[in-house]
Structure formats: C-alpha cells, structure tokens
Structure 1
Amino acid sequence: MFRRRTFLRYSHHLFQPKFALDDGIKSIPTHELFQTLGFIKQSQSGLVHWLPMGLRTLNKVESIIRHRMNEDGDALEVSLSALSPRSLWKKTHRWSGNELFKLKDAKKADYCLTPTCEEDITNLMNEYITSYRDMPITVYQITRKYRDELRPRGGLLRGREFLMKDAYSFASNEEEALQIFQKINTVYNKIFQDLKIPFVSAWADTGDIGGDLSREYHYLHENGEDTLLTCDSCGNVSNVEKCESFPEEVGLHSGDVSVKYALSKDHNTLVCFYYPSNRQLSWNLAMDSVEGDVDVALKNESNETVLKTFERPEDEIMFSKVFRVMDCRINSRSNFPDFPLTKYLKSNFGQLNEVSLVAAETGELCASCEEGHLYGNASIEVGHTFHLGTKYSEPMESKFTDRNNNSNSIPQMGCYGIGISRLVGAIAEVTRDSKGFKWPSNISPYSISICGKNEQLVQETRRKITSQDVFFQFSPKLGLGARIKLSHALGIPLAIIVGPKSWPKVEIEVRGQRWGAGETWKQAYELHNREYDWQIISSGDNTEKHLVPIEYLTEVCNFLLRDL
C-alpha cells in the first residue's frame, strides 16, 4: 500500500522537466516549449502524443466548445468513423486530393483517413432526413482528423493529425440555411469570448471546402501565417484572399503587365485577366469580375495548358470569342505581353475595364466604403464557418420531400470547424511571455499551484482549498524557487507559496493575466480585506503578491481567479 500511494503521489514527476528552468525560455519556440514543459511529445514530424498536463488543457477547451454547441447551437453530438470509403469521395471528386492519407483493407478496398467529413455526414444524414419536417438540424463531433501535410510546421498549428470540432447543418431552403449560418457564427463569438483571448472575425475565401459564403476567426499575432486587412473607416475586416481594394488613383502602373488565361464554363470564350506584374492575382476577385463564369478546374493550370484546351481548327480560330478584364491599376501605355492568337476578329472581343483583380495591400482604399484605407495584421486562423448550399448534398444524392410535396428537393448545407489542438497551440503562442505559458484560468491545466518544501504545510494547505484543480506534485528534487518558476512556466494563474516563516499565513503570487475590462477582485478586496486580514504585498505589471491567513485562502483565490 505504501508503495502504491507513493507512486500516485509522485507519478506526475515523470513528465516534468528533468532540470531547473533557466531564463532562456523566451528564446524557445512554442512547440519546443510545449515539449520541454511536458504538455506534449512529438513522435514524428506533424504527429504528437498528448501528455497529462497538455491533455488537461485540451479537455478544458473541448468542454467549453461542447457546452456552447449543445446549449446555444442546439446541435447534436455524433462520432463518425475515421475511415471513409473511396466511393463517397469519388462522388464529390475529392478522392484525388493530395493531402489524403489513403490505405487498403485486406480485401483491397480503398479508404482514407478523414481530414473533414462532408461526404460521410451527408451520407449518414441521407438515412434520416426524408422530409422538410426533419430540418433544420445541426450535428457535430469532436474527434481526430488526418491530413498528409508535405511540410508540417508550427507544431500544433499545422500537423498531420489534429483534434477538431466539425459541425454540419442541413436546412430545407436557403433562407433557413443562412439563419443557421448566422446562428453558428453567434455561437462561435460566444466560444471565443469564453476563451477570453481577444479575437477577430473576418469574411474569407471558401477555399477547397467550397460554398459561396464563409467567415474566419483569428488571433492577431506577428508569427501568424494569415493576413487580415481592416478598413480604418468602416471597420470591415477581411482575409487578404477575400479583400477588394482600389488604388488612390487608377491607371498609374506603367510597368510590366501579367496575364492569367481562363476559359468560360462552356469553353467557348477565352478569358484574359490582365494585372500589374508586381502584384498577386486574386482568383476570387477575378471570378467575381465575370460573375463566376469560369471553369475552376483550370484554375491552377498554366497559360499554355489553358490555351491548348481552347485550341480550334484553323478556319474557326478567327471567330473565337475573347473577353479581356483589365485591372484598374494598369493603362494603355503599360507593357502588355503578346497576345497568343494571331488570327481573330476584333468584333469578337469584349473588354471590362477598371476592376480590381489583385490581392489588396496596406494603404490602399477599402472597396466596401471607398473612403477608408486598409491596414494589415498577421494572424493565426482558429475557426472557419461555411455556407455550402448544395455543393455536397447534390452529388451525394440527398433528397427530401418539401412543403409542396416535391420529393426531389435537395438540402442546403453548412459546415463549421474549430481546430481544437490548433487552438491550444495558438493561445499558447499569443499569450506566452519570457516566463513561459500564460493561460486563461478556465483552460489552464491547473488553476492553482502550491509551492513549498515543507510537505506537512503543503498537505495542510491542500486540504484547506476546496477546489480539486490544484497542482502540488512537484519533483522532490526541485527547490522552492524552482517550483515557483516551474508553476509560472506551466502558466498556472495562481501560485500559493507556503513556508514556516509566514505560517499560518500564505502568499499568493498572481501569474495570470486579467483579460476582462473590469477588475472585480479589487471590489472584493475593498469589501473583505479587514475581515480576511488580506494584504497586498506588491502589485504591478511584473509581480502581484497577496498575503492571507490559511483559513481564508479559498475565498481569496476564488476572487482572484474571476478576472484571470
């Protein structure tokens, strides 16, 4: 019995640092700091094992998301298989995706490990949705996803295996679908408010998932891979891939011009997008300029491939239709590339002038209000919502009977994702400082630590605290200073320091950051400082310490944790 109690008491030491922390934490990349402090362990590039400390934070984030999806999103939780058959992905033409982990079973049947579940959830709901009365409905899951990233990077920010909350909605008409889209975005706002870290939501490109409307959720940070552009007048925020801008004056670019060739959906028209060579073409803006009448399958093909696809017999080529779209920054004196067709009729040409075709840049005019200027911020994407329409329900042959007794109606869908493991990595990245992590109290692995070398006083302090969210299992090899430093590095908001010199009073050192606008703990202090014999030893940006008798420790800790 004695040995078992000793193992339980000291088992946490196995995953703690085997050395005293020095002052070089600031220079350690976040992914390495996670491993140094025993939150995770990388097994291969893009793959990690979650250790007890990290799993506690992961589970707390998951719990916040689950609560909001259940209570505010009216969503039903499911759990789908991680293996998805090839037949479903062939229906939506996504089996050829480069990032799918593919495998065969003993019967040589093809499967993939799911990176997302539009195919599987639609196939599942086809069994249950038969009437408009069965909708609207939203289902979600929290499970592991897999993506065969060629270059995993950023640790938890871009891995090959990750934990994700993915939700899917089904509605009987577009109006109903858009109402759900707005509802889930409201839920996402509440989730990110619960997590306390300041966030930004922005209109975004729908990307490979598809659909015609999407919104992203970001944390602003200099190490982010995304760029958000904000108007200083109307306040509109968009991902750079979705943002439209105009120059202060049109037609000032007199240098080289580049062209991107495309074909209309029926392949009868060659579409030529002309833009300054020193800028990046925005495919979204290009698509919008021709109202989407472009074969998107040729998006990533070279100009030579597009022209070859457009080839006509000699006697027909001169009658080919050509439509030119001119970015507003170029003019007739700009240096245009040679036109590839040598025989043509000018009457078959069409042209659209003064549209914006390139990715927006800081300092340009906002296209939404045409008054304010744009400024950019690097950011980390942590959530994304999509209105999908019938992009997946149609190829997956989803049908229901509508109010008019039409049995061939197709459900309108939406999908909504939050990368939970990515979210943990992002929060760590944007909140950490020179001492280590700095978690909000509701997702910190522990809310309180007890630091002391006198085991009897540590145990007595532990018994006085009613909360179970307390860490006190430090390695016996660590001295008092090292324990405090480790507690701060782990990001535990409050460190209780006990020792015989001050006993029965204990010191509370505040590590956490106050995220709210108000400081309710100060109100509590004004009301109770005499009753509790509660003293503020020091306060400031670097250190804040309180001294309180052991019998009032729980009450004071609860007051302090409210703002952290």
Structure 2
Amino acid sequence: MLKYRTLFRTCHIFHPKSLSNDTLKSETTQELLQTMGFVRRSQVGLFQWLPLGLRSLNKLTGAIRNRMDNDGEAIEVSLSAISPRALWQTTGRWNNSELFKFKDSKGKQYCLTATCEEDITDLMKNYITSYKDMPITVYQMTRKYRDEIRPRGGILRGREFLMKDAYSFASNKEDAFASFQKLDDTYNKIFKDLKIPFVSAWADSGDIGGEFSKEFHLIHESGEDTLMNCKHCGDTSTLDMSHSYPEKDGQYLGDVDCKYALTKDHSTLICFYYPKNRQLNWNLASNVMDKDIDLVLRNKSNDHILDVFENDNEDIMFSKILRVMDCRLSSKSNFPDFPLKKYLKNNFGQIDDVSIVDAQENETCGKCEEGSLQSLKSIEVGHIFLLGNKYSKPLSVKFVDKENKNDAFVHMGCYGIGVSRLVGAVAELGRDANGFRWPAIMAPYKLSICTGPNNEENSQRARNIVSDLLNNSSMHLENEILNQFNEKLGIGARIKLSHAMGVPLCVIVGSKNWPDVEIEVRGIRWGKKDLWKKHYEKRCKELEWKCIENEKGPEKHIVPVEHLTEVIDILLMDM
C-alpha cells in the first residue's frame, strides 16, 4: 500500500488539478513541462526536477548507462564538479567567459566544470603508465555548469545541466580511432533504443578541439542548429562543415566582401573575397590554406589584422599576399579597393574557384558534386571528438611503449550526451495539442489505468489488472503503471491527464462493456515498423481483439480482460 500512497501523493501534489485545452495548445514546451509537474524553474537557467521529470531523467540515464557499460565497454567514475584554476591554465582554457569561477576562503581559484577534459586527463595520468593499460574508456553521468549569458529554451540550454561525458585513452592513432568508432556505434544504439528520429553529422570541433568530431541531432523546426543534407549521397553535415557549389560558377555580380587573415607565422596576408550577402565559412577557408591560419585573429577587424601584419614584418613590400576568390565571383563582381598600395607582384598570389561561404539550400553538394542540398533545423543532443594529444600533451600524460620508451603522449577522445537537454528535446519533438508523447523507454509511466471515482467494483478490477500485468507481462512493468489519481478527478479528466503526461497507453476500466477493456494509444510509433499490426493480423480472432483507428481521436483497442496483458505487451513493442 505504501507504493500506491506514494503514487497518489505524486499525482495529487505535483500534477495540475485541471487542464484546459487552451493551456495544452498555447503553452511553450518548457511552460508545459512546468505545468505538468516535470520541472520547476528556480532562477533563470536553473531548474528543480520534480517526481515526473526525475522518473524520465532516471530512465534515460539507465538506458544510456546500459549501452555504455556493455557496448561501449566503458568504466563509470564520478569526478568533482569543482576544478582548480591551474589545470585550465595549463591547457589555455581558463579565460573562457562561460566558466563559473570562484575563490575559496584561502583565495585559491576554482571553476564549476562545464566539461571535464582537464580533470579526467589529470586523473588518468595516475593510472596509465604503460601501453598495456590501454585502450580504456571511462565515463560519468553528472551535473555540469555553464554561465550562459542568455539562457533560453528552458532545460534545452540552462546554466546547470545533466551530462554523460566519456573519455577514451589509447597508445596510438589506430586504437584511438577504433575507440571513436566504437563509441560512435554505441551512440547510434542509444538513440535507436529511444526509438526517436535522429541524424549524425560531421561537425566543427570548436573550443574542445581535436582532429575531427561528429554531432547527433534531433530534426525539429524549433531547433537552433542547421544541418545540410545531400539528397543524392545522403551526406549530412553541420553548416560549419558543409561544402557546397553554386549551379554555375561566377554568376554573382553584386558587391563583394573581404575578410583578412594571417598565416600562423604572420608572414602572409590572406584576403578572402566572397559575395557580400553570404557568410564566410572559416572551416572551408582554413582548409584552403591547409589549416595554416591564425584563427585567434578571426574575429578581429581588418584594420587590426593589417596592423599586426605591418608590425610583424619589417617591410611589407617584400611580404607575401594571397587572394582567395570564392567560386561564385567573377571579374564583373564589384570588388572593394585593395588596402596595400606597395607590394611586389612576385610575392602576390591568387587562388580561384574555391567555395569559402556557408552552404545554402538547393546548392550542389561539395562531397558528391551531384546532389542538391536541403537544410534541416535541428536540436543537438550529442557530440563526439577525436582529440589526439590536445590535452595529454600539456598535462604530460606519457606512457611506456612496446620499445620500453617513455616519450609518447596518450591519444584521447571525448564523447558527450546532454541528458537533461535530451529530455527537453524529446518533449519538444513529441508534443502536440494534447500534451506530451514520450517513447516508452523514457516515459514517466508506460501505461495508466483509469477508472471513475467512488466505484469500488471498478477500482478492484483495476487492482486485479495491475496484479496480472506485474506477474505476467514481458515488458517489465514493475513501477511502470500509473493507477492512482486525485480523487476529485472524473474518469474523463484522468484520461486527459494521462494523455497530457505522455503515458503511451491508457487502459480504461468501466462497467458498461466489462469484461471488455478499452486501450487508448497515446504513444508514437517512432520506429514505424508497425510490428503490432503483424501480431494483430495473426491473432485478432484468437484474442478477440478489435482495433478502432480514428483520424480525429486516439487509436483504440477493445480486448477482453483475460487477454489484456498480451495485447499491451504487443502494443508497447513499437513505442
């Protein structure tokens, strides 16, 4: 009885007493998460997790942990959220403006970890001494902190968030890449377990750094990110990494913009020319120069870069100048004046017919050079990196190799999933005018049982159904059945509340058609395999099972109570 009283208290205290259609339709996803009792905002960007939200969060972490332990062959650890300044200074990341920084009573400086490359590297150097200790992958599921200037999207972009971050350590590039591939495969399995539509895309490594990276996204019109997908070869990349060509080169006749850059040794001035109505893509620009660009200066003004160029070269007349021309330009385009009046033509070079701007929809894919690109709005929920020696080198993580030498640095990778962010993203992805629709694996409850109030006979029938489900279902329904509601709610309000919460199946127990029981389907069949239909076609007569599909209302199933457990198991297979 304690379990049912706990369920009742949860529904009574944290759930709304009534839900209007206007509330379900008009509230943003974040507002609805609060109205339904999943989370509660305490401050801008900070949230308290309430019983319903915590159930979904814990189920999601359980699904991730299962894959990381088994398929990823990773070892779980838990690091401190407080990190010393010295580590971040060693890697050159202490000046990050998004770190929460503070001092202790002795004046020593720390930050709250936004990511743990420094701390995990410092930890593992104590345990990795030989090539025999690798490859190894460790992970944690913990809260992270980022001083977002403008927190937005609720739990999608907060100042505190739950994250799964993993780190691989290998003795050579081949093993490091093998670890990257294993975790890439593990991530694909995690998102397939959730039965939600996702895509992976090659991405920019950003401030984390490393050799290359890959992002995982949920496609949704509300997303802040843009992916470019080729209809021909199927390649998907983030906008930063997408390479495109116009249908015909040299068709742009308008004003031309120019951005200056310097090579890493500041000996060469690079002038990137591109259409004024387009955005320079630094990844593509850097690739043209074989990565020989001082990207520290990329946000500096042209005047500032010219000053640096003049100061770092004794006589700029003898210095090198390179013009890089986007393939959309022609000699008839309206170019700005060139800033330098004195230079030697022998030191002047030009690269033509390259693409250095962000891709646009319907342009030609730069990978296959055949298909056209389509843009997709998306929500990023995961990111994996091959780091190389970026962190092991400054933090001096060496090991004894097979030749008994101790001068090689460990090769690393890192792998993140925004767990709390994923809850918000799936909430956004699955909601409709009636509330949420969760995948069964992360729904707060897999099914609800609704009866009218003050009817002891139907209440007893519901309790018997719960007992049968717990004893005979193959879907592991222990603690997955919502069977207690506020006593003031009628059966219609209970069904509406169950649907708004996103419980995949609602079992309705009434007196009118007993012993037949009605099941209303709320969940989405994300996988689109319709396995239940194959079972229905084979066994509908045997189980006396009727299906009523209604375009204007929920899909309904009528089944005798003695076959209810079997039918529920079949329906949950696709959810």
Compute the TM-score of the two structures, normalised by the length of structure 2: 0.94
- Aligned to 2:186, the other structure's residue is in SS state helix
5 Å-filtered alignment, 1:12-51, equals 12-51=11-50
5 Å-filtered alignment, 1:162-561, equals 162-312=161-311, 316-453=315-452, 454-461=455-462, 462-466=466-470, 467-468=477-478, 469-538=480-549, 542-561=553-572
User: Number of aligned pairs?
Assistant: 563
Query: In the TM superposition, what is the alpha-carbon distance from 1:324 to its structure 2 partner?
Result: 1.5
Counterpart of 1:514 in structure 2: which amino acid? R
**Would you say the 8 A contact 2:266–2:312 is kept in 1?**
no
Counterpart of 2:91 in structure 1: which amino acid? T
**Would you say the 8 A contact 1:23–1:435 is kept in 2?**
no
5 Å-filtered alignment, 1:110-125, equals 110-125=109-124
Query: In the TM superposition, what is the alpha-carbon distance from 1:41 to its structure 2 partner?
Result: 0.5
2:563 aligned with 1:562: no
**Would you say the 8 A contact 1:464–1:553 is kept in 2?**
no
Query: In the TM superposition, what is the alpha-carbon distance from 1:334 to its structure 2 partner?
Result: 2.1
**Would you say the 8 A contact 1:21–1:482 is kept in 2?**
no
For 1:529 and 1:366, locate their aligned partners in 2 and report how far apart those are by CA, in whole Å.
Answer: 49
Query: In the TM superposition, what is the alpha-carbon distance from 1:209 to its structure 2 partner?
Result: 0.9
Residue 6 and residue 137 in structure 1: after superposition, are their counterparts in 2 closer, same or farther (change >3 A)?
A: closer
Residue 499 and residue 245 in structure 1: after superposition, are their counterparts in 2 closer, same or farther (change >3 A)?
A: same
Residue 350 and residue 43 in structure 1: after superposition, are their counterparts in 2 closer, same or farther (change >3 A)?
A: same
- Aligned to 1:311, the other structure's residue is in SS state helix
**Would you say the 8 A contact 1:529–1:535 is kept in 2?**
yes
5 Å-filtered alignment, 1:60-139, equals 60-139=59-138
Who is 1:156 aligned against?
Answer: 155
Structure 1's consecutive aligned runs of 4 or more residues displaced over 4 angstroms after TM superposition are: 4-8, 537-541
**Would you say the 8 A contact 2:196–2:527 is kept in 1?**
no
Output one character per residue of 1:244-267: Cα deviation in whole Å (capped at 9) or x when no partner. Answer: 111111112222111111111111
Counterpart of 2:420 in structure 1: which amino acid? S
- Aligned to 1:465, the other structure's residue is in SS state helix
- Aligned to 1:416, the other structure's residue is in SS state strand
Counterpart of 2:307 in structure 1: which amino acid? K
**Would you say the 8 A contact 1:21–1:485 is kept in 2?**
no
RMSD over equivalenced CA pairs, Å: 1.9
For 2:19 and 2:484, locate their aligned partners in 1 and report how far apart those are by CA, in whole Å.
Answer: 15
- Aligned to 1:255, the other structure's residue is in SS state coil
Query: In the TM superposition, what is the alpha-carbon distance from 1:525 to its structure 2 partner?
Result: 3.3
- Aligned to 1:14, the other structure's residue is in SS state helix
Deviates more, 1:295-304 or 1:31-40: 295-304
**Would you say the 8 A contact 2:112–2:145 is kept in 1?**
yes
Residue 308 and residue 53 in structure 1: after superposition, are their counterparts in 2 closer, same or farther (change >3 A)?
A: same
Query: In the TM superposition, what is the alpha-carbon distance from 1:559 to its structure 2 partner?
Result: 1.5
**Would you say the 8 A contact 2:4–2:484 is kept in 1?**
no
**Would you say the 8 A contact 1:119–1:392 is kept in 2?**
yes
Residue 348 and residue 441 in structure 1: after superposition, are their counterparts in 2 closer, same or farther (change >3 A)?
A: same
Output one character per residue of 1:438-460: Cα deviation in whole Å (capped at 9) or x when no partner. Answer: 11111110011111122552343
Counterpart of 1:270 in structure 2: which amino acid? L
Compute the TM-score of the two structures, normalised by the length of structure 1: 0.96
For 1:88 and 1:252, locate their aligned partners in 2 and report how far apart those are by CA, in whole Å.
Answer: 51
Counterpart of 1:464 in structure 2: which amino acid? D
Residue 459 and residue 112 in structure 1: after superposition, are their counterparts in 2 closer, same or farther (change >3 A)?
A: farther
Query: In the TM superposition, what is the alpha-carbon distance from 1:212 to its structure 2 partner?
Result: 2.0
**Would you say the 8 A contact 1:225–1:380 is kept in 2?**
yes
Deviates more, 1:496-505 or 1:446-455: 496-505
Output one character per residue of 1:335-382: Cα deviation in whole Å (capped at 9) or x when no partner. Answer: 222222222212111221111110010111111111111111111111
For 2:415 and 2:395, locate their aligned partners in 1 and report how far apart those are by CA, in whole Å.
Answer: 19
Residue 86 and residue 436 in structure 1: after superposition, are their counterparts in 2 closer, same or farther (change >3 A)?
A: same
For 2:10 and 2:239, locate their aligned partners in 1 and report how far apart those are by CA, in whole Å.
Answer: 48
Counterpart of 1:463 in structure 2: which amino acid? S
For 2:495 and 2:206, locate their aligned partners in 1 and report how far apart those are by CA, in whole Å.
Answer: 46
For 1:230 and 1:38, locate their aligned partners in 2 and report how far apart those are by CA, in whole Å.
Answer: 37
Counterpart of 1:387 in structure 2: which amino acid? L
For 2:314 and 2:182, locate their aligned partners in 1 and report how far apart those are by CA, in whole Å.
Answer: 57
Counterpart of 1:229 in structure 2: which amino acid? M
For 1:11 and 1:369, locate their aligned partners in 2 and report how far apart those are by CA, in whole Å.
Answer: 55
Counterpart of 2:293 in structure 1: which amino acid? V
Query: In the TM superposition, what is the alpha-carbon distance from 1:315 to its structure 2 partner?
Result: 6.6
Residue 368 and residue 528 in structure 1: after superposition, are their counterparts in 2 closer, same or farther (change >3 A)?
A: closer
Counterpart of 2:59 in structure 1: which amino acid? K
**Would you say the 8 A contact 2:11–2:484 is kept in 1?**
yes
Residue 425 and residue 307 in structure 1: after superposition, are their counterparts in 2 closer, same or farther (change >3 A)?
A: same
**Would you say the 8 A contact 1:498–1:506 is kept in 2?**
yes
For 2:257 and 2:270, locate their aligned partners in 1 and report how far apart those are by CA, in whole Å.
Answer: 14
Counterpart of 2:305 in structure 1: which amino acid? V
Query: In the TM superposition, what is the alpha-carbon distance from 1:82 to its structure 2 partner?
Result: 0.3
Counterpart of 2:191 in structure 1: which amino acid? F
For 1:231 and 1:483, locate their aligned partners in 2 and report how far apart those are by CA, in whole Å.
Answer: 46
